[in-house]
Amino acid sequence: MERHWLINLLELLVPLLWLGCTACVDLDGQDRRAWLQETLIEDNLALLARDPATTGGKFLKMGSSPYNLFRGTVGQFVRDSAQRGPGYLPTRFGSVEGSRVLLVGDPHLENLGTFRAASGELLVDFNDFDASGYGPWILDVRRLALSVWLTAALLPEDGVDAVSPGELAASVARGYADEVSAETDGSPPLRVRAGEHGAILDDLFERAEANGDADTALSDYTRVVGGRRVMVFGELEAGPVEGVDGDVVRAPPVEEQRLVEAHLAQVGATLIASIPQDQLAVKGVSRRLGAGVSSYPLWRYYVLVEGPTQAPDDDWLLEVKETSDPPRRPGLAVHPGRQFASNGARVVSSQRALQERPDADPLLGCLDLGRLSFRVRERTSYQRGLAVDRIVERVGDGRWSVADLQELATIAGRLLARAHLNAPTLHGGDALLIVAADLGGDRDGLAEETTRFVEVYGPQLLTDHQLLNALLADEGPTLGYRP
Amino acid sequence: MSQLAILTRLHRHGGPARLTTALALLGGLCAGWTATATAQDAEPPPTPPLPAGATAASAPEMVVEGELFGGLDAVFTDAEDFNAFEVQRAELGGLMLWDARHVGGEVRLEAVRSAGSGSLLGIDGDSLVMRLKRAWGYASVPLAPVRIDLRLGLVPDVWIEAVQSSFELRGLGPTLSESGGFFDTSDLGGSVRVDVLDGLATAQVAVTNGEGRNLREQNAGKNTTVTVTLRPWRLTLGGEEAGLWLHGVYRDGSTSVASVIDNRIGGAVAWTSAWVDAGVELVRANGYAGREVDATGLGAWANGYLVRPWLGAVVRYDHLNPDTKLADADRQTLTAGLYTDLVLPALPPDPRQFRLYLVVQDESAGAGAGPIPGRPEVADLTRLMLTLAVGGRWRSAPDDAPEHRRD
């Protein structure tokens, strides 16, 4: 019987297809640089389209130091942790319910800071919830530990006690497990106050108290002219590198100013305590440039409002900061997928739930300007954040010790656990029970696993920093983005 | 049904007589163009005489097509039970056909969530909004026994289109080629389709940006995709058409600003008939999800009537390995259930256009594939889906040939 011509054709095609298949799959390894370029552009696509110059400034700022790179790459960290990237190291500590815990999202040393609560008490807590959302608690532990590893890795080698960065980072895990154990045993949740938790936090408390009492934020960004407080405009501090703003405040266009003024009234309804609307009467608006790393290109306004009396001394300075989407956690399907009405509402709700007390910032609220969502907080010098540069400098010159850094890492880990345990899970579950069950009392196991993680992923951060600078040199500040 | 299937069907319905007419018309048009070119400064040339029977075919025609997949999805995990009504697909498109269907174009809209996955920033919250899915013009050249179609614009992906021509379960979700992120359903570019011997063999070549329908071009490179479809065995069973489909694809591509490699190679085999359909597709990627890794996808499906048309059964299996160099990095989805075709006197003759599915879907991941490394159970979920799949089509001119199921 004569063979059909199709059979003959298939006999020819199949080996060719197989050859094509093998020929097209012989690439080795991942091109990390290309991946970094692609994902940074993807994460910042809307901002690049809106304001390429300022978004390019963000990338330049990220390139100015490894810690700034770390601060600007939470999206890459999440991808690497969930998608078989270099951060995809198996954990023994997780469960389905444990992946519905309310996360800080981007916990790291520079996101720890002081607050003055409504009662006047000064306390330390996490202060940035832009990346908050529901997810696996182990991700937060690893992110915080990574920041400690990086801080330790930046210390000068000479004159520093012989404690490895990995061991320092493990203190975060031990602190986390200790807080879970303590609360399981009925101890009250951790409260961080001055004079109790080592030299580094005491230094932070002292500076916050001194600057807060002197009201330096108000005096830096406003001044009293003819008995009336007005906004200050200009460059207050130079940027870290060329093309990056330092501390700059500019007068916004009149239309923008009116828009902010018109919408600020919304914030009253979102505050934790009722405040008479006339105390929120706007007296001045400035556009702040240069703040933050991840949020560098986002719009940020300083708004001067009346405060308790008409006297200029008790005016409030509010920061109205645009909020963006949190990093997507690939593969994690939580239901419902959308839990908040807006990003501003998400950030405010998370901050109140995760902090020691919901009134840590009595002027915390949110507002919407059209499709954009903003978080409002008091811009007071009582709110002061940790600075890794200062830690590196002071540990390096011997004013602080590695033991001080280790104590800070432990407290940071405890604070993170307290934050997680404070808030109900996505479906209202008791986070303490869920996290404690995931942990199973294995403090050393968590520490060991965390050390392993930072020792694998930490060096990747340093490599990524070099890759970013190579990209900036080759592609320019916008990394080759095409409008 | 894809717009290409409609076009092909429209072309085929004429059969040899129509083909002869079209060729004659093409000859007449060529003569007309020649006359125009040589005498453009003189009097307008006389309109070439139309061949007998060409008048009706030359009139402009319009085809309006819509699809709607909607229903209730209930999701069950160890942490939550959640259910929601969803609109998985809402599409409306129109084809304009001129010149005996030799030139034309399509505009097709689709509904999408405005905020996208994981985003809180959308239009008026997270509204469903319409956007362009396809927008292209075409010209067709019949040169018996070959027909050549040229398309330009926001064109359908030639591989998705080819496989879906032998895939009836779109109401339950796209093929793995699409759902697994191997191919996007449309892209900006152009394509050429060559049909030989009344669809016995079809080859398509597309050159596109490679960024899909969501993004502008990000790099200078272009994706080149070649597909081949063979229908080696077509027969009539109980008076109804049945047959075997063989599809193959190769793509040379790149994506993103960094020009990350984005190559594909794949094949599919499908059997279609009035009673039972089945198929399997295998795709291999070199460059996947923006990373220079190799990935594979295997999709298999089967469906058939138990009591036609009132009750049918369906089973689907999708297996995705996003990085072949890693152990246990695979994810799989198993779907099984029943469907019924709603046949009412007022409805059009093809009952498959009003189908109700009730299926259970189970998703799971390998030890190294879940969103939490080492805890694959976090990705496990079971879904119960009740989906109504509705499709409809209206033509300005009556069809003059019997309905083919797929072409």
A344 interfaces chain B, CB cutoff of 8 Å: no
The Cα–Cα gap between A129 and A134 comes to 12
Position A377 pLDDT exceeds 50: yes
Q: CA of A92 to nearest chain B CA: how many angstroms apart?
A: 7
Helices (H) and strands (E) in chain B, counts: 5, 18
What pLDDT, on a 0 to 100 scale, did the predictor assign at position B132?
96
A342 interfaces chain B, CB cutoff of 8 Å: yes
Give φ, ψ of B44 to 5 degrees.
-55, 140
Instruction: Give the pLDDT mean for B40-55.
Output: 39
A339 interfaces chain B, CB cutoff of 8 Å: no
Position A181 pLDDT exceeds 70: yes
Residue of A nearest to B286 (CA): A25
The residue among A363, A333, A364 whose CA lies nearest residue A350 is A364
Residue of B nearest to A82 (CA): B371
Q: Angle at which helices A137-154 and A388-396 pack, to 10 degrees?
A: 40
Q: Render pLDDT for B373-384 as a digit per residue (tens, 0 to 9).
A: 888 888 899 999
Q: Centre a 10 Å sphere on the Cβ of residue A151 and count the other Cβ atoms it contains.
A: 27
Instruction: Give the pLDDT mean for B245-271.
Output: 95
With H, G, I as helix, E, B as strand and everything else as coil, classify residue B105. Answer: strand
Instruction: Give the pLDDT mean for A425-438.
Output: 95
pLDDT interval class at B37 (50, 70, 90): very low
* Secondary structure of chain A in HEC code, one letter for each residue: CCCCHHHHHHHHHHHHHHHHHHHCCCCCCCCHHHHHHHHHHHHCHHHHHHCHHHHHHHHHHHHCCHHHHHHCCHHHHHHHHHCCCCCCCCCCCCCCHHHCEEECCCCCHHHEEEEECCCCCEEEEECCCCCCEEECHHHHHHHHHHHHHHHHHHCCCCCCCCCCHHHHHHHHHHHHHHHHHHHHCCCCCCCCCCCCCCHHHHHHHHHHHHHHHHCHHHHHHEEEECCEEEECCEEEECCCCCCCCCEEEECCCHHHHHHHHHHHHHHHHHCCCCCCHHHHCEEEEEEEECCCCCCCCCCEEEEEECCCCCCHHHCEEEEEEEECCCCCCCCCCCCCCCCCCCHHHHHHHHHHHHCCCCCCCCCCEEEEECCEEEEEEECCCCCCECCHHHHHHHHHCCCCCHHHHHHHHHHHHHHHHHHHHHCCCCCCCCHHHHHHHHHCCCHHHHHHHHHHHHHHHHHHHHHHHHHHHHHHHHHCCCCCCCC
Q: CA of A232 to nearest chain B CA: how many angstroms apart?
A: 32
Residue of A nearest to B289 (CA): A35
Supply A101's token pair: 């815990």
Instruction: Give the pLDDT mean for B197-201.
Output: 88
Give φ, ψ of A420 to 5 degrees.
-60, -45
Q: CA of B125 to nearest chain A CA: how many angstroms apart?
A: 8
Position A85 pLDDT exceeds 70: yes
What pLDDT, on a 0 to 100 scale, did the predictor assign at position B142?
84
Q: Render pLDDT for A391-411 as a digit per residue (tens, 0 to 9).
A: 999 998 999 999 999 999 999
Residue of B nearest to A20 (CA): B265
How many residues appear in chain B? 407
Share the mean pLDDT of chain A: 91
What pLDDT, on a 0 to 100 scale, did the predictor assign at position B387?
97
Provide the whole-model pTM.
0.85
Q: Which residue has better confidence, A15 or A460?
A: A460
Q: Centre a 10 Å sphere on the Cβ of residue A336 and count the other Cβ atoms it contains.
A: 10
pLDDT interval class at B42 (50, 70, 90): very low
Position A84 pLDDT exceeds 60: yes
pLDDT interval class at B63 (50, 70, 90): very high
Peptide bond into B16 cis (omega under 30): no
Interface mutation target, options B378, B380, B382, B384, chain A, most CBs of A under 10 Å = B378
Instruction: Give the pLDDT mean for A181-191.
Output: 97
Q: Render pLDDT for B358-406 as a digit per residue (tens, 0 to 9).
A: 999 999 998 888 888 888 888 899 999 999 999 988 888 765 543 333 3
Instruction: Give the pLDDT mean for B11-30.
Output: 38
Let me know: does B69 contact B387? Beta carbons within 8 Å: yes
Instruction: Give the pLDDT mean for B5-24.
Output: 42
Q: Residue A16 burial (CB < 10 Å; 0-12/13-18/19+)?
A: exposed
The Cα–Cα gap between A390 and A56 comes to 26
Lowest mean pLDDT among A243-247, B41-45, B90-94, B283-287: B41-45
pLDDT interval class at B34 (50, 70, 90): very low
The Cα–Cα gap between A195 and A193 comes to 7
Asked if A84's CB is within 8 angstroms of B118's CB, the reply is no
Instruction: Give the pLDDT mean for A1-11.
Output: 48
A15 interfaces chain B, CB cutoff of 8 Å: no
What pLDDT, on a 0 to 100 scale, did the predictor assign at position B246?
97
Q: Render pLDDT for B291-302 as a digit per residue (tens, 0 to 9).
A: 888 999 999 999
Position A18 pLDDT exceeds 80: no
- The percentage of chain B sitting over the pLDDT mark of 70, rounded to a whole number, equals 80
Q: Which residue has better confidence, A68 or B398?
A: A68
Q: CA of A145 to nearest chain B CA: how many angstroms apart?
A: 17
Share the mean pLDDT of chain B: 83
Residues 65-94 of A with CB under 8 A from B: 81-84, 88-92, 94
What pLDDT, on a 0 to 100 scale, did the predictor assign at position A162?
67
Instruction: Give the pLDDT mean for A173-185.
Output: 98
Of A24, A33, A341, the CB nearest to B263: A24
Position A4 pLDDT exceeds 60: no
Question: How does strand B331-341 pair with strand B354-365?
Answer: antiparallel
- The percentage of chain A sitting over the pLDDT mark of 70, rounded to a whole number, equals 93
The Cα–Cα gap between A398 and B141 comes to 82
pLDDT interval class at B346 (50, 70, 90): low
What pLDDT, on a 0 to 100 scale, did the predictor assign at position A35?
92
Lowest mean pLDDT among A11-25, A83-97, B14-28: B14-28
The Cα–Cα gap between B395 and B64 comes to 6
Position B407 pLDDT exceeds 70: no
Give φ, ψ of A37 to 5 degrees.
-60, -45
Q: CA of A34 to nearest chain B CA: how many angstroms apart?
A: 5
**At which residue do the structure tokens 């790291």 appear?**
A108
Q: Residue A253 burial (CB < 10 Å; 0-12/13-18/19+)?
A: exposed
A30 interfaces chain B, CB cutoff of 8 Å: yes
pLDDT interval class at A384 (50, 70, 90): very high
Position A440 pLDDT exceeds 90: yes
A396 interfaces chain B, CB cutoff of 8 Å: no
Of B123, B291, B322, the CB nearest to A35: B291
What pLDDT, on a 0 to 100 scale, did the predictor assign at position B210?
93
**At which residue do the structure tokens 């060096």 appear?**
A459
What pLDDT, on a 0 to 100 scale, did the predictor assign at position A160?
61
Q: Residue B367 burial (CB < 10 Å; 0-12/13-18/19+)?
A: middle
The Cα–Cα gap between A279 and A367 comes to 17
A17 interfaces chain B, CB cutoff of 8 Å: yes
B91: which DSSP letter?
E
Q: CA of B382 to nearest chain A CA: how many angstroms apart?
A: 12
